[in-house]
Amino acid sequence: MKRRTFLKTAGTAGVAASAGAFGILRSPRRADAAWGDWPQDKLEAMIPPERQAKKVLELYFYGGLNAFDSFYTVPEWGQNQNLFLWAFGANTVNNRFASCGFGGNLTEPFFDDEAGTTVHLGPWLAPLRERPDIVDRMRIVVQRHDLLPHEGANPVALTGHRLGSPRLAGIGSSIQRYFAERPGGLRPVPYAYVLYPGSEFATDNVRAASAVGLHPGSARALSVTVDEGSLLTNLLARNTVGDANRERFDRAVDHYLAAYADRFRRAGKGKAARSAQRADFEFAHYSRKGAGELQSVLSADLFSSIPGSECGTNTTSMPAMQARMAASLLTRPDNAARYVHWIDAGLTPHPSAGHDTHDSHVTYASRNVAHTLRQLVSIINEPGENDPNKIDLDETMIVINTEFGRTPYPQGGGSGLNHWPQGYVNVFIGGPIRQRGIYGYITADQGMAQSWVSPTENRMLILMAMGIYPFSSQTFAVGDVGGGVTNELEAAKRLKEVYLGITD
């Protein structure tokens, strides 16, 4: 093949890339608006730009976080019946709290829920409670759904959609697409990442966090397994092609892509007909050519092991490794991420999976929940610290999520807790959240939520916080929002004012 032919086809591919040609439209939109932009007649419901989160770190407690000894502790509930915080007896919790060396009181008052009950922060939040600057910017949101198995609950919690929905996509896909399709936003380094723990675990459909749904392939968040044995760095180096052949290889693919595109033109002239699959492959090729940039972002040192210790247990800390990588991705001076999803399984994952404590709940929860939160706190700037390598809560919102809670009573009279989607919580910290608060409430008689936000609404709240319009054929609809709303404006106002509590 002639050299001029390769140069010509390579140049054509470069023009297509700079024009953002990889986003295939799946539904009509205004010609002057990028995907995710707010319609002019709905701007009154948008969070003001100066208050929006520029970035989001989502921490996902895989396996199920128990609300009743963490973010929704009411000390007077169940003391005499061995329920809620006292599910295994007061001495069990008190002794573990002391033996782990947690300082201060067992619980700490946080805020009154909608029913007027004072909710406390529980014992395993001790590392978080040591940082009042973080707690003062925390909003707890009560949640509820009806899916007991991990295999169904994880997709709903991670995407807002049930299994089988064509719109089932991780929230990172919406964020990746929004920033990549904005003018000048196209780049080979992703805006959104999903960090999976390197330890072996049953995925239970947690991979839904990386699903793309009806978005184009260019919207997929990058999945990264955080493990010291990761091969990703070597793959990004493209050693199988070699330095000498890398440019020739890329030009060859450019040429064959251009030849293939000609088959989509009538008589070889005019613009090529749209093809989602072809656009996805072109974006993959574009990203592969930019692998060197991504290699510098995901450098080998970010995969090195970190020792960890909690409650007398010493081992490699996967949460510390994930926290380090999340902070690095979000705080880079160039090619910084806009969204990082940290799927957490704890310091010592329960044999059932992550935080899925069907037995020995107090032992595992005290160690794993506390250790993970200790790593989270370590990457957040303290007041006046201004470390550029740490997260600033004024620009980065932290979301704490989980597929469901744990029962307010022991499972089968044993030492564990079962799945409990009937009443649990999610947490929003920083970004547009400026003060303490709680939305919804759970009752003491059954431990069930009586006022709550759905996992679908939870996903919308993240988009709202980042200034991304949450209603499209690829994301969510008015019918996904409760409260009897009848149109998109009413739905957006409810998300902003009622759930997020932003009224000023």
Give the CA angle between residues 138, 142, 148 to the nearest 5°.
Answer: 130
Least confident of 12-16, 119-123, 256-260: 12-16
Taking only the tens place, the pLDDT of each residue in 267-325 is: 777 888 888 888 888 898 899 888 889 999 999 999 999 999 999 999 999 999 999 99
d(CA 360, CA 355): 11
Residue 398, strand partner residues: 57, 429
Residue 12 has pLDDT above 60, yes or no: no
Structure tokens at 494: 């409810």
> Are the C-beta atoms of 324 and 330 separated by less than 8 Å?
no
DSSP 58-114: EEEETT---GGGTTSB-TTTTTTTT-GGGTT-HHHHHHHHHHTT--S-S-EEEEE-T
d(CA 65, CA 254): 48
Other Cβ atoms less than 10 A from the Cβ of 318: the count is: 28
Backbone angles phi, psi at 145, to 5 degrees: -155, -170
Residue 97 has pLDDT above 90, yes or no: yes
Least confident of 100-114, 173-187, 199-213, 438-452: 199-213
Percentage of the chain surpassing pLDDT 90? Answer: 78
d(CA 270, CA 281): 21
| pLDDT for 244 | 81
d(CA 401, CA 143): 10
* Mean per-residue pLDDT, 416-433: 98
Q: Please name the residue that has the structure tokens 């960890």.
A: 308
Confidence of residue 263 (pLDDT cuts 50, 70, 90): confident
Binning the chain into helix, strand and coil, the percentages to the nearest 5 are 40, 15, 45
* Mean per-residue pLDDT, 11-30: 45
CA distances, 300 to each of 128, 171, 284 (Å): 30, 27, 22
Specify the DSSP class assigned to residue 220.
P
d(CA 315, CA 347): 8
Q: Where are the domains of the chain?
A: 48-228+304-499
Taking only the tens place, the pLDDT of each residue in 63-85 is: 999 999 999 999 999 999 999 99
* Mean per-residue pLDDT, 167-184: 97
DSSP 466-500: TT---BSTTSB-GGGS-TT--SHHHHHHIIIIIIS
Q: What is the dihedral of CA 347, 353, 358, 359, to 10 degrees?
A: -40
Residue 23 has pLDDT above 60, yes or no: no
Taking only the tens place, the pLDDT of each residue in 182-230 is: 999 999 999 999 999 987 666 789 999 999 999 999 999 999 999 988 8
| pLDDT for 28 | 41
| pLDDT for 104 | 93
Percentage of the chain surpassing pLDDT 70? Answer: 93
Of 391, 395, 424, 393, nearest in space to 407 by CA: 424
d(CA 138, CA 501): 11
Higher pLDDT, residue 381 or 247 = 381
Residue 427, strand partner residues: 140, 400
Least confident of 350-354, 401-405, 461-465: 350-354
Average pLDDT of the chain, as a whole number? 92
| pLDDT for 32 | 56
* Mean per-residue pLDDT, 34-52: 97
Confidence of residue 22 (pLDDT cuts 50, 70, 90): low
Phi-psi map region of 446: left, alpha, beta (phi>0 left; psi -120 to 50 alpha): alpha
Structure tokens at 120: 């406390």
Backbone angles phi, psi at 44, to 5 degrees: -65, -20
| pLDDT for 275 | 84
What single-letter amino acid sits at 468?
I
Specify the DSSP class assigned to residue 358.
S
> Are the C-beta atoms of 177 and 36 separated by less than 8 Å?
yes
Residue 127 has pLDDT above 80, yes or no: yes
Higher pLDDT, residue 455 or 1 = 455
| pLDDT for 26 | 43
SS3 category, 18: helix
* Mean per-residue pLDDT, 39-52: 97
Other Cβ atoms less than 10 A from the Cβ of 4: the count is: 8
Helices 455-465 and 150-159: crossing angle in degrees, nearest 10, is 30
Among the CATH numbers 3.40.720.10, 2.60.120.370, 1.10.12.10, 1.10.1740.10, which is that of 48-228+304-499? 3.40.720.10
